[in-house]
Structure 1
């Protein structure tokens, strides 16, 4: 009996080769002409924390923050977060 092929691929040694998660908060704020101060007030969050999300400088996503942002911005999670496969990454 032949061995079944595993449908999952192996993670690369370098995690940077797994693709990238991009938070599109900056794009949304620009499209809607919303300032970081306005968002900070409405979402009841620190500007520093929002700035880190806007600038893609976070390491771990917080579900509560994502929920607040989606609610206040009236958007879907897929509007806010994007997965960029490794073959589509810009260097």
Structure 2
């Protein structure tokens, strides 16, 4: 039962900065095209978002012509040995 309460869930990594850098789009251009505040975009770029907004992610995918898996990556928890 102790293992049940000590579960580690892993984390989500936001890879948006890699895509933006590769495409050479400015943060200002992306914020405008995706209808986001620049401060909100900065949080996504800095991998500093704790609650994801489905509408924001859909707009980013549309503007960047990519899939959600291009932006978000699940990092599994480390396995104890």
Instruction: Give the TM-score of the pair, scaled to structure 1.
Output: 0.76
Structure 1 stretches of 4+ with a deviation exceeding 3 A read none
Q: Which one of the candidate residues 51, 57, 62 is aligned to 2:48? A: 57
Residue equivalent to 1:83: 74
Q: Residues 74 and 10 (structure 1 numbering): CA distance in 2 closer, same or farther, change over 3 Å?
A: farther
Equivalent positions of 1:1-91 (< 5 A) are 10=4, 12=6, 17-87=8-78
Let me know the Cα RMSD of the aligned residues: 1.8
5+ unaligned residues in a row in structure 2: which ranges? none
What are the superposed Cα offsets for residues 5-38 of structure 1, whole Å, 9 maximum, x if unpaired? xxxx94635xxx3211011110000111111111
Larger RCO (CA within 8 A; separation ≥ 6): 2
5+ unaligned residues in a row in structure 1: which ranges? 1-8
How many correspondences in the alignment?
77
Instruction: Give the TM-score of the pair, scaled to structure 2.
Output: 0.85
